[in-house]
Amino acid sequence: MHSEIAVVGGGAIGATAAADLAAKGFHVTLYEKGDLAAGSSGRAAGVCYDAFADRTDATIGSRSLERFRELSNVFTEWPYVWFAHTDDEKRASAIRRQAKRMRDLGRDVTLVEPTELGERFPGLKTNDINVAAMTHGAGYANTTEYVEVMVDRARQNGASVQTETPVELTTDPPGIVSDGGEQLFDAVLVAGGAHTKRILATGNVSIPMKPYRVQALVTEATPTTESVPMCYDATDSYYFRPYEDGLLIGDGTERVESNPDEWNRAADEEFVEKMRGHLDDRIPDKLEVRDTWAGLCTATPDGDPLFGEIRSGVFVATGFHGHGFMRAPALGEHIAEQILGGDGVSRFDPTRFDGSETFDIIAGMDIE
């Protein structure tokens, strides 16, 4: 059982773990090198669903949705649809198989005829869709507000929150070195997003993780937001969802490793023009671009996260392939329980690698 616990990273998973640990009466110090939610969490799409074809991921997604629904000021319930084009039978077949596996796992997933989809969502063009699947009970969240709510909960239960505080890790025993000196802890959780690998390396802990860049844009206001679901186009590999009074559309995955300290935070013009074309093909309204940005996701060799105890008293949470925010409520809860002596997620055990592995980046939303 641990009593003095450090959490490194003020994003969604770190903030959730800090809140849950503090609520149980433990002394928690949350370190963030910049502002809260300034990294991947603040730039995440905020799409949340439990429609995974794997039992482990589906269970985690379901628990996350349960916790999201408790935050009505942060989370909006909205249908989620993914589809393939009429000339893409490969992905259409994959969606049919996925939908069946999801139903077998108890997920509320149905196949929807394109004409029925268009009648239900008149703001969506469906004439070129081969097959579509829809999950109910999904939704989207304000990512920055979620982090702020979790950090407020942590503070209310006595946690110390230190922003603008870069740190280094020590091991055996676990500790944190900051501008305030070195402090030992009973346990340290490193959930620093794209910086996690470098933070762990300061304590001579190596992991096979690569940050990679993704992009998004948001549109000006449109009535379309009331008449479209959240969507993932499996053929053209992009997603969109309602965002304030417009739409957020994104992907733009770069399958090359990014430097977490030096990367382009603006979207590329080529990406913007490509997304404009997708919107023109899919949405009847002519939509103007309001803002664009880029963020970093994290990849691992096998597509599963590095999640759990990696050294005695040192825990890690990274490598979510773009699915970290949507699973943060459950993952933060689970890692907090593991720190306090509970079981880990065996499939995500970070010690399954030695840290020297080489691998190619695989985007988390590919459907093959």
Q: Where are the chain's structural domains?
A: 4-43+143-207+301-352, 80-137+210-299
Which tens digit of pLDDT belongs to each residue from 103-160? 999 999 999 999 999 999 999 999 999 999 999 889 999 999 999 999 999 999 999 9
- Ramachandran category for residue 99: left, alpha or beta (phi over 0 → left; psi -120 to 50 → alpha): alpha
pLDDT of residue 191: 98
Q: How far apart are CA 67 and CA 47, in angstroms?
A: 14
Question: Residue 223: its pLDDT value, please?
Answer: 84
Question: What are 70's two structure tokens?
Answer: 């408790």
Q: Does the domain formed by 80-137+210-299 have CATH 3.40.50.300?
A: no
Q: What's the pLDDT score for residue 285?
A: 86
Quickly count: other Cβ atoms within 10 Å of residue 112's Cβ. 21
Q: How far is Cα 296 from Cα 294, in angstroms, rounded to an integer?
A: 7
pLDDT of residue 2: 65
pLDDT attached to residue 1: 55
pLDDT in the model for residue 304: 95
Distance CA 367, CA 90 (A): 9
* pLDDT in the model for residue 249: 96
- For 360, phi then psi, to 5°, come to -95, 150
Helical H segments across 229-321, by residue range: 269-282
Listed as ranges, residues in the chain with pLDDT below 50 are none
If we measure between CA atoms, which residue out of 115, 150, 169, 137 comes closest to residue 66?
Answer: 137
- For the domain with range 4-43+143-207+301-352, which CATH number is right: 3.50.50.60, 3.40.50.1820, 3.30.9.10, 3.40.50.920? 3.50.50.60
| pLDDT at residue 365, as a whole number | 62
